[in-house]
Structure 1
Amino acid sequence: MKLNGIIAYPITPFKADSQEVDFDALSITLNTLLEHDCDAIAPLGSAGESAYLSWEEWQKVAEKSIEIVNHRVPVILGISELTTNMAIQKAKKAEELGADVIMVLPISYWKLTDQEIYDYYQEIAAATKLPIMVYNNPATSGVDLSPELIVRMFQDIENISMVKDSTGDIQRMHKFHELTQGQLPFYNGCNPLALEAFCAGASGWCTVAPNLLGKLPRQLYQATNAGDLAQAQKLFYKQLPLLRFIVQGGLPKTVKAGLNELGFSVGAPRKPLQSASPSEIHQLKSLLKFATTA
């Protein structure tokens, strides 16, 4: 499967009084992302607070998300687990529920060797027929997958078919292209790198930005895809201050604050994460206005 364009990451809404998952709000936010012409939906990433959900909650959010999207675009389910066994359990469940792709991020307590990482992916791949997006995000996972290791897995393991890189290092993307003669589809996961990544040949941008910025991220993709660099630059610099802010402030906190300000009732992040402060909300509103004012 080849994905192109904007891969949108929804948040997981919680009820204000109980912090239980709010499935009505989930439906509203997912349908809104689809109205923003996103090319794929990727529930249960870091913005979706997957690390803070129980196994039962993870299954319910996955099932409900796939049901709501209803084949309108591909669904990529996020899997980030310390143990291979739990990652396999989630991969099997993702396939059973009808996901189109799984995005797999190894999590480390003990530092993992390249062979341990390779075996982690190989065993997950053996347990499912789903295409696998390798996800490299050392800032959250404690694991940094080298381009050479990722390319080796892409070449050796049949259903590893794409990579998302969130390091913010554009050289990684050049390396993916060089080592595979452009055969490995790569996706940008670093929001402030969106323009450079598209110019480097990224197949898509994995981002929470459409939650707050509507169709602007897709317009950026369309401009770069059409070779209109002047328009792409204009669109990117409107979005950049907000993109920086949401990354620096933490995605669940800042995106939920922004959605609440936009009239969506999505609750607060799950503790120990905290809600945005009044000063952060004030700054967020100012950046939203700057990005969305013609």
Structure 2
Amino acid sequence: MNFSGAYTALVTPFRDGKIDEERFREHIEWQITEGIHGLVPCGTTGESATLTHDEHKEAIRICVEQANKRVPVLAGAGSNNTKEAVHLATFAEEAGADGTLLISPYYNKPTQEGIYQHFKHIAEAISLPIVLYNVPGRTGSNVLPSTVARLHKDLPQIVGIKEATGDLIQVSDLIEQCGSSFTVISGDDFTVLPLLSVGGSGVISVISNLLPNKMASLCTAWNNGDIETARKLHFEMQPLNRAMFMESNPIPVKTALALQGKMDTDFRLPMVPLAEANLERLKSIMTEAGLL
């Protein structure tokens, strides 16, 4: 499967310390109605690092059920523990996900060979298409283009990567070394349009939790050759993109959804509510964007 276009890195609504299934299903349904191209449960934006294994599985199950094959579900199943990642990826496959998103091992800081062996071990345990996730700012290590090219060559089910380095030289090197059969997806809402311009395929987006139609329209406009519309949408979203990272993701985006009445502002420690001064800034930016 080719994971292209705009995919939403879904927030995970909580209520009373548990996943709020009703609000989660409503959010997924709204995303599909608004024209999003795909869904990603249990990523960074979904607070995956603080979900129990049972909750992680529950979030994937709910998303797969609610999507009901109307759009692809790329289920987050990564871990810095290879055995744990195999367990979660195996569940994603059993639950009916269309693919799995696997972050590179965080905290351990493995060598490039260790990163290669980690992903190779997971790929040999499942048959789902795999999209890698490279975000050095959170993991402490960078998955180099040469390592990605080696993985794609040796393990064809590794079909793409979510690139969140913000480094367009690295993106260009990836596309050059991996070839047109490999999907490079932006993991950074600021760089979707530049990434598309060098041959990227789309985005796994935070802001599309709020603006699914606009982000999907940007990708569609680019693919249709309507560069002017894509550029217009890019700049329209930039103020809100900046607001989504005024504090650590997903604090601002979940707060924004709560301000719209779509879910509670319920975070898992060590995530905490948005600072009061930033809350006022967020309200102002959302009002200007027509979201409040």
TM-score by length of 1: 0.95
Contact kept? 2:77, 2:92, Cα under 8 Å:
no
Q: Distance in 2 between matches of 1:260 and 1:111?
A: 36
- CA-to-partner distance for each residue in 1:2-24, whole Å, 9 max, x for gaps? 12210111101111xx2211111
- Match in the other structure for 2:280: 282
Pick aligned residue for 2:256 from 240, 254, 258: 258
Partner of 1:7: 7
Where 1:80 maps in the other structure, the secondary structure is coil
How much has 1:271 moved relative to structure 2?
1.2
CA displacement at 1:222 relative to structure 2: 2.1
The SS at the match of 2:126 is coil
Name the aligned partner's letter for residue 11 of structure 2. Answer: I
Q: Which residue of 2 aligns with 1:217?
A: 215
Aligned pairs for 1:27-38 within 5 A: 27-38=25-36
**Structure-1 separation of matches of 2:166 and 2:69:** 31
Distance in 1 separating the partners of 2:8 and 2:19: 19
Q: Which moved more, 1:160-169 or 1:263-272?
A: 263-272
SS of equivalent residue, structure 1 residue 6? strand
| Cα pair 1:103 1:135 within 8 Å, conserved | yes
The residue that corresponds to 1:117 in the other structure is 115
C-alpha distance after superposition, 1:148-204 (max 9, x if no partner): 111110111131111110000111221122113433211011111111112122111
- Partner-residue secondary structure (3-state), 1:227: coil
Seq. identity, %: 29
For residue 292 of structure 1, report the CA deviation from its aligned partner.
4.1
Query: Which residue number corresponds to residue 184 of structure 2?
Result: 186
Could you list the per-position Cα deviations for residues 33-56 of structure 1 after superposition, in whole angstroms to 9, with x for gaps in the alignment? 111211110000000000001111
Q: Indicate how the Cα distance of structure 1 residues 109 and 3 shifts in structure 2: closer, same or farther if over 3 A, else same.
A: closer
Question: Given residue 12 of structure 2, which amino acid in structure 1 is its aligned partner?
Answer: T
Which of 89, 100, 103 is residue 102 of structure 1 equivalent to?
Answer: 100
CA contact (8 A) 1:19 1:267 kept: no
2:162 pairs with one of 152, 161, 164? 164
- Give deviations 1:71-130, integer Å, cap 9, x for gaps: 111111112212111011111111111111001012233320111111111110011000
CA deviation string 1:243-290 (max 9, x = no partner): 122134222211111001112123322112111123222212222233
CA distance in 2, matches of 1:192, 1:153: 27
2:229 and 2:100 mapped to 1: Cα distance? 33
1:214–1:40 distance in 2 versus 1, CA, 3 Å: closer
Task: Identify the match of residue 70 of structure 2 among 69, 72, 75.
Answer: 72
Corresponding letter in the other structure for 1:275? P
State the AA in 2 paired with 1:147. Answer: P
Which residue does 2:19 correspond to in 1?
21
**Contact 2:42–2:60 (8 Å) recurs in 1:** yes
Q: CA RMSD in A?
A: 1.5
Distance 1:41 1:181 in 2: 25
CA contact (8 A) 1:78 1:102 kept: yes
1:45 aligns with 2:43: yes
What CA distance in whole angstroms lies between the structure 2 residues aligned with 1:223 and 1:103? 26
Match of 1:271 in 2: 269
Post-superposition CA distance 1:205-262 (Å, at most 9, x none): 1102121124111121122222222222221111011112213422221111100111
Letter of the 2:14 counterpart: F
Write the distance in 2 (CA, Å) between the matches of 1:214 and 1:183. 26
